[in-house]
Amino acid sequence: QVRIVEFGGGLVEPGGSLRLSCTISEEFFRTIPVAWYRRVPGNQRDKIGYIGGNGGDSVDFMNGRFTISRDDAKNTVYLQMNNLKPEDTAVYYCNKANVPFYAWGQGTQVTVSS
């Protein structure tokens, strides 16, 4: 079974930066488009960007504040988050960009607060 592990979250002040990492134990990882999602308590899990497989481009929905990259040799996708705002506080997850999803990982908590 494919396993997803996200890490790198934490507490950061407004305007700060964080880089999240996500490893996916998928044999054909490099071919898989991967997305980052986040869930604010009480809300649904929203997609915030994705990166294509096989060298595909990345697309973010956060007006350029966030950048997604990947290292296929490490089965890892990254989410670089800059100029963080309190409303970015959420649990962040990664998974396939399209259904059917793998089993979700535990996510990593990001808290933006002064």
Nearest residue to 91 (alpha-carbon basis) of 35, 38, 18: 38
Mean pLDDT of 38-52: 93
Position 41 scores a pLDDT of 84
What's the mean per-residue pLDDT of the chain? 94
Q: Quick: pLDDT tens for 87-111.
A: 999 999 999 999 999 999 999 999 9
Predicted pLDDT of residue 62 = 79
Beta strands in 1-114 (DSSP E): 4-7, 10-12, 18-24, 34-39, 45-51, 58-60, 66-71, 76-81, 90-96, 108-112
- For the residues 23-42, what does the mean pLDDT come to? 94
pLDDT of residue 94: 97
- For residues 32 and 16, the answer to whether their CB atoms sit within 8 Å is no
